[in-house]
Structure 1
Amino acid sequence: MIAARLHEFGGVPVVEEVADPVVADGESLVAVEAAAVAHIDVTVAGGEFAFRPELPHVPGTDGAGRIVRSSELAEGTPVRVRGGEVGLTRDGTWAELVCVPDESLDAVPEGLDMALVATFFSPCVTGWIAIHEVGRVAAGERVAVIGAAGAVGRVATQLALRAGAMVVGVEPDGERAADIASGAEARRSLDGVEVDVLVDTAGGEGLQSRLESVRPSGRA
C-alpha cells in the first residue's frame, strides 16, 4: 500500500510503498477514502506531543473509509475512524489502509461525503465546547468569534446563533468576510465592541486586547 510516513520529527512525511498492515483479534482493516490533517497531527509530527511514536510513523488521527476486514462490521460498511491511539502510538490514517481497534470505529450512513466524515469531529466538538460548556452562551447575549471564517469559528458562530445569541464574527482578512456564517455581524476587528462571551480561535499578540472587550463576569 501507499502511505505518508514520518521518518524524522519536524520533517516532511514521505509518500512511499509499505507493507499492508496485519490485523489482530479485536481489530479491523479499513480502506481509507479521506483523512484529516488536524492540529494534533501537526503536533505529533513536529515531536511536540506529550509522547513520541516510534519512527517511521504514519500520522493521522481522523479518517473515513470502508471496512475491508472486521469481526464487528460487514465488508464495505462506511466508517469513521478516531481514537484507540490511531495516529498516536500506532500508525494512522495517512495511508491507503489502516488497521484500527474495533472501538475506534463508528459506522456512518451510506452516501455521506467521506471528506466531511473524516474532518467534522475536531472543529465541531471544539466549537460545541467553546459555546456550550466554556461559554455557557444564553439567548440574548452578545458573542464575539475571532477567526469566524475558519473551521472552528464557523461552527462556533452557527452554534451561538442557534442558541439565540447576537454574534459578531471577526475576520481581519476582509476577503474572508463572505465566509462568515449568515446571521452574524461581520467585522474586521473587535474595537469598540463589548461582549458577554469571547471565542478566540486566533490567539497571538492581540488576545490580551481582545479580552478587554469582555464585560465584567463575561466568559472567554
Structure 2
Amino acid sequence: MRAVEFQEYGLPEVLKVVTAEVPEPGPGQVTIDAAYAGVNFADVKARTEGYRVDALPYRPGLELSGRIRAVGEGVTGLRPGQEVAALVGGGAYAEVVRADATTVFPFPEGLDPRTAATLPTVVPTAHALLHEVGRLAAGESVLVHGAAGGVGTVAGQLARAAGARAVYGVVSSADKAAYALKHGYDEVFLTDTFPEEVRRATGGRGVDLVLDPVGGETLRRGLDALAVFGRLVSFGNASGAEPWHVGQPELYGRGHSVGGFSVLALAQSAPQALRALAERAFRTVTDGTVTLPITAEFPLADAAGAHRLLGGRTSTGKLVLRIAD
C-alpha cells in the first residue's frame, strides 16, 4: 500500500510517498480502507518540531474516513464494509489505517466520505470548547481565536446556535476576516489589536468566554479581555511558546477561570466520554446546524502541498487528502 511518511523534521518536502505493508488489526482494533484524511495543524507541527512524534520515520494524520477492511478480536458493533470515520493518534496518511475501535464512528446518516473525514477532530473539539468545558449560556458573548480555521468555523456556528449574544473572532488577515464573517461571527478582529477591539465592542465589559489555540502572550492578553466571572479555554499552543502558567494573581481579582481541552488526550484517558461527545457533536452536522466547508483537496501524493498551504497560515476552513482513487 501507499503511505506518506517523513524521516526527518523540516519543510513540507520531507513528506515522502512510501510503499508499506498492509497492517492487520490487533485485539480491539480495526483496519480501514481509507477514502479521505483530514489535514490538521498538528500534522504540520509533527513534521516541523516533532509534536506527538515518538520515533522516526513517522506517518502523520489524525482523522480519516473509509470502509472497514477487517476487525480484530473483541470488536463489537463494527463490521467489514461499514463506512466509518475515525480518530487516530497518527498514521492516517495511508491507504490502509489501523485504528482503535473505541474511536471509530459509523457515518451519520446522509454524510459523504469526503465530509466525514473532517469531523473526528474539529467538530467534537468545537462542541467541547463551547459546551462541556466552556459552559456557554444563552445571552453570553464569546471570542474565538483562529476564527477562520476548522475549529473556528464550527465554533462560530455552534455559538450562534446556542444563543450567544455576541460572537467575536480573531484572525491574522483581512481575507480570513471576510471568511469568518460568513460563518456565525458578528465582528472579527485582527490578532495585534483584539484586546482593544473587544473593549470597544463590549463597552469595556469584556467577553464571557475566550477560546484560545495560540497560547503564550495571546493567552495572557485573552485573560485581559474577559468580563467579570469570564472563562478562558486553552486548546493548543500554536505559538510554540513556553507552557503557560496562571494562578491566584491573574484569576482572583475578577473571578476568572481557565480550562483546557484536547480531543486526542480525551481519546486516551476517557474514550467512552469521547464517543458520547462525538455523537452529540456529529448531530449538529446531520441536523444542519453546522456546515464545515472543505476549501482545498490534495491527492495523497501531494501531502506536501497541503502542508505548504496550511503552514503558510493563509488557508481557511478545512483541508483534506484524497486517498482512494
TM-score class, shorter-chain normalisation, is: 0.7 to 0.9
Alignment of 1:208 with 2:208, yes or no, is no
Pairwise CA distance, 1:15: 0.5
> Which is richer in helix?
2
For residue 36 of structure 1, give the secondary structure of its aligned residue in structure 2. Answer: strand
Match of 1:179 in 2: 179
Match of 1:68 in 2: 69
Alignment of 1:78 with 2:83, yes or no, is yes
Pairwise CA distance, 1:100: 3.2
- Identify which of structures 1 and 2 has the higher relative contact order when contacts are C-alpha pairs closer than 8 Å and 6+ apart: 2
TM-aligned CA distance change 1:33 to 1:214, over 3 Å: same
Pairwise CA distance, 1:110: 6.4
Q: How does 1:36-55 map onto structure 2 within 5 Å?
A: 36-45=38-47, 46-49=49-52, 52-53=54-55, 55=56
The unaligned stretches of length 5 or more in structure 1 are none
Per-residue CA shift, 1:157-211, capped at 9, x if unaligned? 2222122112123334222223224553123243223222222344454443343
- Contact map agreement 1:63 1:93 (CA 8 A) in 2: yes
Pairwise CA distance, 1:131: 1.3
Distance (Å, rounded) in 1 between the aligned partners of 2:85 and 2:98? 13
The unaligned stretches of length 5 or more in structure 2 are 233-325
Aligned length: 212
- Contact map agreement 1:58 1:93 (CA 8 A) in 2: yes
Aligned counterpart in structure 2 of residue 199 of structure 1, from 211, 214, 217:
211
Match of 1:98 in 2: 97
Q: How does 1:7-26 map onto structure 2 within 5 Å?
A: 7-10=7-10, 12-24=14-26, 26=28
Query: Following TM superposition, where does structure 1 have runs of at least 4 consecutive aligned residues deviating by more than 6 angstroms?
Result: none
- Contact map agreement 1:78 1:109 (CA 8 A) in 2: no
- Contact map agreement 1:128 1:159 (CA 8 A) in 2: yes
- Contact map agreement 2:86 2:120 (CA 8 A) in 1: no
Q: Percent identity?
A: 36
TM-score, normalised via structure 1 length:
0.80
TM-aligned CA distance change 1:197 to 1:24, over 3 Å: closer
Aligned counterpart in structure 2 of residue 217 of structure 1, from 209, 229, 251:
229
Pairwise CA distance, 1:4: 0.5
Letter in 1 for 2:171: E
- Contact map agreement 1:44 1:52 (CA 8 A) in 2: no
TM-aligned CA distance change 1:67 to 1:129, over 3 Å: closer
Distance (Å, rounded) in 2 between the aligned partners of 1:24 and 1:140? 48
For residue 121 of structure 2, give the secondary structure of its aligned residue in structure 1. Answer: helix
Distance (Å, rounded) in 1 between the aligned partners of 2:34 and 2:93? 8
TM-aligned CA distance change 1:104 to 1:160, over 3 Å: closer
Letter in 2 for 1:57: Y
Q: How does 1:28-177 map onto structure 2 within 5 Å?
A: 28-45=30-47, 46-49=49-52, 52-53=54-55, 55-70=56-71, 73-83=78-88, 86-87=89-90, 92-109=91-108, 112-165=111-164, 166-177=166-177
Pairwise CA distance, 1:52: 0.8
